[in-house]
Chain A
Amino acid sequence: MSNVIENAGSYGASLAPTNGWCLNGVDPRTRLIAAFCFSMVVTALSSPTTLVAALGIAVVGAGWTGALTEQRWKRLIPINLLVLLLLGLLPLGGGATPVLSIGPITVAREGLVQAVLIGLKANAIVLGVLVLLARLEMASIGHALGTLGVPAKLTHLLLFTVRYLGVLQREYGRLRAAMKVRGFRPGVDWHTYRSFGYLVGMLLLRSVDRADRIVMAMKCRGFYDRFHPLDRAALTARDAWFTAIVLLVLAGLTVLEWA
């Protein structure tokens, strides 16, 4: 848990630029749009061969960019839990060709195939997005969204939220430690749920006070509804190359699917 939040500042685990790392210097906007297009195209695919190809490309990309190192592979867990659930439930939904039947339960082939295809597609998308956005700071994603036409209030909301995730995480840690030294052990009872309710309430109250102090501090510094990012990046030749490669991959997948 702490891992997630500590990494919230940057999309990747470390800020240190690695030598020769291939997506360095590609504009965040280009990468966001690429991730969106990749999701769109892969979502539209349906044939097994194309899905395997898409997953293959994502895996190769992950190997090439190191998108799965340093705990980042954990981001694949939630989606695969969902896929496991579907793998368990879809085959029981009935179908034309039963594979196995135990008493009243029939396992149908159609459901199995559907679940496997969903699993392939989901992993291809999640891994692809992970590769395309790897080592991008959440803050630069926020600024990129701002320049792409997302309303200023919404990007400010995103930037503030990212900024205070770590602070709240530490606040939560302190409150939880305070509960622990008083002998609190979570169980299945009213006391536990009430204590968690008070914990959430205290987190909210403290953050309201913090928010008010933030507003005052920002007013003191003359803030008026605009952030100035320090690295106002311009599109470069790298973006052109990156776009070309992504377009090539997407075109290849489309041709493989519909040709």
Chain B
Amino acid sequence: MHLHEAVLSDSPQGIGVLCLGAVGTLAGTALGLRAMDHEQVPRVALVSAVFFVVSLIHIPLGVTSIHLTLNGLVGLLLGWTAFPALLVALLLQAVLVGHGGLLALGFNTLAMALPAVAVFYLFQRMSESKHRSIHFFAGFTAGSSAILSSAFLISAALWVSGESFELAAKAVFLFHLAVAMIEGLVVGSTVVLLRQVCPERPFLTTPQGLQERM
């Protein structure tokens, strides 16, 4: 769910939200870029690409289908670097698929990446714990709380930018309650798999294989 600048530009508050989003994303991206060194660029880029490809998969939910967002997973893997990664992925979504607009890019990125960073600080330790049984729980809460927080930020932006959007804001949030459930199950399973297949390797270090093989 991405907002478009045409929706938010009706009122001064909406324009304020757009500006706030742009400033927040600028700051977050600056921090994220500082946290990433040149050798990590390909890894982060591939996470962006996975995010983009996965967002095109439709998953059945009752009579309808949803698409995964996975910003919680991106947060768990990348920390602050989630900002540049999501910025790039959302730019591609705006330009190649038509999700969201160029001016709303700042707000949309902030709404996705801020929960991702929060999730990193809250659940990253838990997702790397020695007890296997917690991995799924960590992934589930990370995935579902990240998407719920994003939905909350988007609904709040709608709500702030005009009273007439109240109903739309509520609808967006309620719909994401169901999405969060599925997102949580998927991210939980992903974390379980990642921990089982490569338990020793944290994601954002310089490639280990590289140092071994040189």
Contact = CB atoms under 8 A, between A and B. Distances in A.
Interface of A: 1, 4-5, 7-8, 11, 35-36, 39-40, 43-44, 46, 74-79, 82, 85-86, 89-90, 92-95, 110-111, 114, 117-118, 121-122, 125-126, 129, 133, 138, 141, 151, 153-154, 156-158, 160-165, 167-169, 172, 186-188, 190, 192-194, 196-198, 200-205, 207-212, 214-216, 218, 225
A258 to B, nearest CB: 16
Contacts of B38: 153, 156, 225
Interface stretch (B1-9, B109-117, B119-127): B1-9
Interface of B, helix, strand, loop or mixed by DSSP: helix
B207 A203 contact: no
8 contacts: A43-B5, A118-B10, A157-B41, A157-B44, A192-B60, A193-B186, A197-B190, A197-B192
A153 B98 contact: no
Interface in B163-193: 163-168, 171, 182, 185-193
B6 to A, nearest CB: 4
Given A193-B185, A212-B207, A114 B10 contact: yes
Contact of B98 (A1, A75, A160, A200): A75
Given A86-B168, A193-B182, A212-B207, A204 B50 contact: yes
Contacts, number: 232
B85 interface: yes
B189 A43 contact: no
Contacts of B156: none
B91 A118 contact: no
Contact of B50 (A95, A138, A193, A207): A207
Contacts of B43: 207-208, 211-212
A125 B47 CA distance: 29
B71 interface: no
- Chain A, interface SS category: helix
Contacts of B191: 201
A196 B186 contact: yes
B54 interface: yes
B167 A93 contact: yes
Contact of B185 (A190, A205, A216): A190
A90 B45 contact: no
Contact of B59 (A75, A94, A165, A196): A196
Contacts of B39: 215
B36 A200 contact: no
B23 interface: no
Given A93-B165, A197-B185, A118 B7 contact: yes
Contacts of B50: 168, 200, 203-204, 207
Contact of B46 (A4, A93, A168): A168
Given A197-B190, A212-B209, A157 B9 contact: no
A225 B44 CA distance: 15
Contact of A168 (B49, B92, B185): B49
Contacts of A151: 33
Given A122-B4, A160-B41, A200-B70, A110 B59 contact: no
Contacts of B87: 154
A39 B164 contact: no
A117 B6 CA distance: 9
Contact of A165 (B49, B70, B84, B188): B49
B61 A188 contact: yes
